[in-house]
Amino acid sequence: MSDRARDEARLGWWLAGPAFVVMVAVTIYPILQAFYDSLFSYRLTAPGDKAFNGGQNYVVVLSDPVWWQAFWVTALITVITVLVELVLGFLLALVMHRAIRSLRGVLRTAILVPYGIITVVSAFAWFYAFDISSGFVNHWFDWVPGIDPDLNWFAHQGTSLFVIMASEIWKTTPFISLLLLAGLSQVAGELEEAAEVDGATWAQRLQRVVLPNMKAAIMVAVLFRALDAFRIFDNVFIMTNGANGTTVLSLLAYRTSIGRLEIGLGSAISVLLFLCVIGICFIAIKLFKVDLASARGEG
Amino acid sequence: MRTLTTRMKVWWAVITVVVMVWALLPVVSIIATSFKLPSQLNLGTFWPKTWTTTNYEQIFAGSAKDLFLPALRNSIGISLIATFVAVVLATLAAYAIARLDFRGKRLILTTALGVSIFPVISIVTPLFNLWRSIGLYDTWLGLIIPYLSLTLPISIWTLAAFFRQIPWELEQAAQVDGATPWQAFRKAIVPLAAPGVFTTALIAFFIAWNDFVYGISLTSTSAARPVPAALAFFTGASQFEEPTGAISAAAVVVTVPVVILVLLFQRQIVSGLTQGAVKG
């Protein structure tokens, strides 16, 4: 290694090192601590009793139907919201892509509004809209089959999950559509024109030219949204707080460790959630052969 | 430019209206709720029968003042500091990544990616415990530090994407023309880098402003509790009063400035988000 290269490497680490150290400190340390704590019978209400109990916490959690219920609800929310967001986001991206300049500006402005709103506020907005006594949904939409003015959305699992998922989709579809629009703008242009000259129909161009070239953008959007959805917390906490079978994994972890001060059990749930997230990444990388780093911008 | 037939114009109008209603209805609905009298909350109508600013008076001067104002101060202070620290650290790192050739670039970017997929709840449980024992629980610093786990990774990715597009040769060209290295950097590079840094700061600020899990887990009083967490613990003036109006008013107050920021800088934000996320 030449002196110059060594100097450059040293300067590089001096500049990037602090960011690196902070990132490691604020995430790696806590997750290792969580792993450690998850192996102890440890509750803050009786801190003196902290005792190593091997994998006992994991046995307790995994044999508890409450955990499995939360797991399946979280998985269901993730799969449905990501699918709907992908379809809606793609439609929206297509609309914006085809729209004339002035309309494109209006549409982009409108869909950036959900992006700028904090999740807690959007959760309250949706909660109030669907509230049986004060919300407008029951009154406006009572002509829709299944909606009557006396329908209490938050009294049942299915309808509660519907509102939770609707708010999640509303909040995050804009982000997906912007990503897809960026992908679309790159692909379109020349490739699409060439295909058009060759006489390809709109559907053919979409299927043969646009979609294959957007694969990376779509996969990244799906993966990141899936990871986000799996950690869903804010809107569930505000709207139902887990009532009627709407407890998700994050909420269960929060309630166990910070609510009931069962640090050992709560840590085990946190670690399991972390492993699920890692699992989603692993599946995505294997299944779609996504090179995350290159798709995210490393040249 | 394509010319539109009347039928296509109608279609575009319909599509635009549908998208706008979908995007704006929940926002307009909470604004409408914030102007309703408590006694009229249960009419089920969309617009208030009579418009009132009672709810706003309640959060700024009335019974909910002590809940809302400290939370607003905490949110602004903590988010700004977390944003500032993240952007400074990320600017240095992104400069090194874009400009210098050294092993470990990929490690730093991969770490940033890894950190951004960490579930907040997995981080917060051990922090809750540690912060309580070292006295950071319910303090500004106790939130600023974990907020870096949210703001730093995206800042690094966004800035690295911005900085890669800067033609760094300009700096040398300026030096050839007789500028000192510092002058060359300041006059040629800083103006090109500044918009990227500003955009990154905006995005990081939104993310900090949006936090809820850290906010409710690591605070217990108005000493550090930020607005999203405070909203979740809002109770009415008396225990028997529904806090709907006050919450809606508070929600509007913390939403409107941020939405205005988003709309003012929409071009930059969209390019920042998409560049950081997908190769530009």
In the numeric block, the tokens 């550090």 are attached to B224
Range in A128-142, B88-102, B126-140 the model is least confident about: A128-142
Q: How many Å apart are CA B159 and CA A155, to the nearest integer?
A: 46
User: Which of 21-40 (B) contact A at CB < 8 A?
Assistant: 22-24, 26-27, 29-30, 33
SS (H, E, C) B138-193: CCHHHHHHHHHHHHHHHHHHHHHHHHHCCCCHHHHHHHHCCCCHHHHHHHHHHHHH
pLDDT above 60: residue A172:
yes
Average pLDDT over residues B128-136: 93
Rg (CA), chain A: 24
Q: Answer whether B60 touches A (CB < 8 Å).
A: no
In the numeric block, the tokens 């109030």 are attached to A128
Q: Answer whether B19 touches A (CB < 8 Å).
A: yes
pLDDT above 50: residue B159:
yes
Average pLDDT over residues A282-298: 64
pLDDT value at residue A292: 54
Q: Which sign, positive or negative, has the C-alpha torsion B101, B103, B108, B110?
A: positive
Average pLDDT over residues A181-206: 74
Nearest by Cα to A97 from A158, A179, A204: A179
pLDDT above 70: residue B240:
no
Burial of B140 (0-12, 13-18, 19+ CB in 10 A): middle
CA distances from residue B154 to A141, A197, A218 in whole angstroms, order as listed: 40, 41, 19
Among all residues of chain A, which has the CA nearest to that of B232? A238
pLDDT value at residue B228: 95
> Mean of the per-residue pLDDT values for chain B?
89
pLDDT value at residue A297: 42
Q: How far is B22 from chain A (nearest CA, A)?
A: 8
CB-based contact B16 A15, cutoff 8 Å: no
pLDDT above 50: residue B110:
yes
Average pLDDT over residues B67-73: 94
pLDDT above 80: residue B236:
no
Percentage above 90 pLDDT, chain A: 51
Burial of B55 (0-12, 13-18, 19+ CB in 10 A): buried
Q: How confident is the model at residue A237 (pLDDT cuts 50, 70, 90)?
A: very high
Which is more confidently placed, B63 or B76? B76
pLDDT value at residue B11: 87
pLDDT value at residue A284: 82
CB-based contact A107 B16, cutoff 8 Å: yes
Which is more confidently placed, A191 or A209? A209
Within a 13 Å sphere around the CA of A65, how many CA atoms are in the beta-carbon half? Answer: 1
Which is more confidently placed, B208 or A132? B208
pLDDT value at residue B279: 43
Residue to test with chain B: of A21, A104, A120, A267, most B Cβ within 10 A: A120
pLDDT value at residue A175: 86
Q: Which sign, positive or negative, has the C-alpha torsion B30, A127, A83, A275?
A: positive
Amino acid at A66: V
Q: How many Å apart are CA B194 and CA B185, to the nearest integer?
A: 12
Dihedral class, residue A92 (left if φ above 0, else alpha if ψ from -120 to 50, else beta):
alpha
pLDDT value at residue A192: 65
Other residues' Cβ atoms within 10 Å of the Cβ of residue A156: 14
Contact predicate A50/A38, CB 8 Å:
no
Q: For the packed helices B65-99 and B244-264, what is the interaxial angle rounded to 10 degrees?
A: 30
Q: Answer whether B45 touches A (CB < 8 Å).
A: yes
Residue to test with chain B: of A94, A233, A296, most B Cβ within 10 A: A296
> Beta partners for A51?
A41
CB-based contact A100 B12, cutoff 8 Å: yes
Q: Indicate the residue of A134, A216, A270 with minimum beta-carbon distance to B244.
A: A134
pLDDT tens-digit map of B165-176: 888 888 888 888
Q: How confident is the model at residue B5 (pLDDT cuts 50, 70, 90)?
A: confident
pLDDT above 80: residue A21:
yes
Most confident residue range from A87-91, B7-11, B116-120: A87-91
pLDDT value at residue B27: 92
pLDDT value at residue B237: 55
User: Which of 91-110 (B) contact A at CB < 8 A?
Assistant: 92-93, 95-97, 100-110
Q: Which sign, positive or negative, has the C-alpha torsion B13, B16, B19, B21?
A: negative
Q: Indicate the residue of A20, A95, A138 with minimum beta-carbon distance to B44.
A: A138
Contact predicate A24/B113, CB 8 Å:
no
Q: Indicate the residue of B20, B30, B275 with minimum beta-carbon distance to A121.
A: B30
Contact predicate B30/A119, CB 8 Å:
no
pLDDT value at residue A299: 32
pLDDT tens-digit map of B24-69: 999 999 999 999 988 888 888 889 988 999 999 989 998 888 889 9
Contacts with B4 from chain A: Cβ below 8 Å: 100
pLDDT tens-digit map of A86-108: 999 999 998 888 888 888 888 88
pLDDT above 70: residue B203:
yes
| Ordered DSSP codes for chain A | --HHHHHHHHHHHHHHHHHHHHHHHHHHHHHHHHHHHTTEE--TTSGGG-EE-TTHHHHHHHT-HHHHHHHHHHHHHHHHHHHHHHHHHHHHHHHHHHS-HHHHHHHHHHHHHHHHS-HHHHHHHHHHHH-TTT-SHHHHSTTSTT--TT--GGGSHHHHHHHHHHHHHHHHHHHHHHHHHHHHHHHHHHHHHHHHHTT--HHHHIIIIIHHHTHHHHHHHHHHHHHHHHT--HHHHHHTTTTTTT--HHHHHHIIIIIS--HHHHHHHHHHHHHHHHHHHHHHHHHH---HHHHTT--
> Mean of the per-residue pLDDT values for chain A?
87
Q: Indicate the residue of B41, B261, B274 with minimum beta-carbon distance to A134.
A: B41
CB-based contact A16 B108, cutoff 8 Å: yes
Q: How far is A182 from chain B (nearest CA, A)?
A: 7
CB-based contact B251 A92, cutoff 8 Å: no
> Beta partners for A52?
A40
Among all residues of chain A, which has the CA nearest to that of B86? A19
